[in-house]
Structure 1
Amino acid sequence: MEHEDFAADAAMFAHLRAMWREHDPEPAGLVDRMVAAVAVEDLTREYALLTMVEGEYAEVRGEGDTSTLQFSDGETSVPLHVTVTEDGDRRIDGWVDAAAVAVRLVQGDHERGTEPGEHGRFAFDGVRAGLTRVRLTVRGVGDEVREFQTPQFEV
């Protein structure tokens, strides 16, 4: 009985597809435009510019114990200062120029949060070396809450 129901449903859906293609066909290029629109939306959500901070911090590009990174998506900027501690772990000090509601540090499946302080300052101690991402929930214009996340970076 299930096989008959499935066959009947498949035949009905095939008939509906044929009817709609004849009476209201999809516009040429619709599928390509939709794929492009979804890809752009993903890029917009994921995109954050990563730069090494120039000037007085230029020397940290070597094998030193500190580095300074800056991420921005055009609305929110987040500079991060990464320091290698005596025990080999890292300390990450960050600042966000938007009203941060929550700050999370993500490494693989491990995620932990901290409360942003005055002037958007936050810090994470005991960070293991590896790929890392910072996720923030920020309050924007008109109290709109949105997510900001950095691309992964190595600490």
Structure 2
Amino acid sequence: MNNSHEQPPDELDADLLEGIAEIYDAIDPPPSSLDGEVLFALSHAALDAELATLLEAQMPALRSTDASPTDSITFTSSALQLMVRTAPDEDGGLRVDGWVTGGGLQVALYAGSIAHWATSDAHGRLLWRAIPHGRIRFLLQPADPQAKAVLTPVIEF
């Protein structure tokens, strides 16, 4: 072991620290849910986004036992609105066309853990290609750095 705190750690120091870590793992292990809780807390704190809601006009007026898929949906928040429409893409995935209130917004389409980024043009138009079917959500990042990001609920196409 090094006698001076100015010397870099050597192999013996590493072995001692590893032994101490093993003791703590044995007598006081971290809870199994700790990883997920920490990741959630970090994501929530870092994101600090407003949550968009589905536009009520999109909600069905009648309840039915038959499922009827939709190919478009609109989300709204206090500052932004996003409409998306899906269509089959040549590769078997989805083509997602979007329109957002305002140009120059960075919008991420999250399919699973993968973010597909697009920037809205001057008319608010967005396009994503080859998106896998399944659960997706959107993160809208306004051009103004002081404005809050907007996160949509998860939907399935």
Residue correspondences, number: 104
For residues 17-56 of structure 1, the aligned pairs below 5 Å read 45-51=49-55
For residues 122-141 of structure 1, the aligned pairs below 5 Å read 122-139=126-143
Does residue 1:144 correspond to 2:146, yes or no? yes
TM-score, normalization: structure 2? 0.55
The 1:100/1:148 distance shift into structure 2, 3 A limit, reads: farther
The structure with the largest strand share of the pair is: 1
Identity of aligned residues (%): 24
Q: Which residue of 2 aligns with 1:62?
A: 68
User: Is this contact kept in 2: 1:52–1:69, CA < 8 A?
Assistant: no
Deviation at 1:144, TM superposition (A): 3.0
The structure with the largest helix share of the pair is: 1
User: Is this contact kept in 1: 2:52–2:76, CA < 8 A?
Assistant: yes
User: Is this contact kept in 1: 2:102–2:120, CA < 8 A?
Assistant: no
Unaligned runs of 5+ in 2: 1-44, 59-66
Deviation at 1:103, TM superposition (A): 1.3
User: Is this contact kept in 1: 2:110–2:137, CA < 8 A?
Assistant: yes
For residues 112-123 of structure 1, the aligned pairs below 5 Å read 112-123=116-127
CA RMSD in angstroms comes to: 2.8
User: Is this contact kept in 2: 1:47–1:151, CA < 8 A?
Assistant: yes
Give, in whole Å, the separation in 1 of the partners of 2:92 and 2:105: 30
Larger RCO, structures 1/2 (Cα 8 Å, 6+ apart): 2
Among candidates 107, 132, 155, match of residue 103 of structure 1: 107
Unaligned runs of 5+ in 1: 1-41, 55-60
Letter in 2 for 1:94: G
Q: Which residue of 2 aligns with 1:154?
A: 156
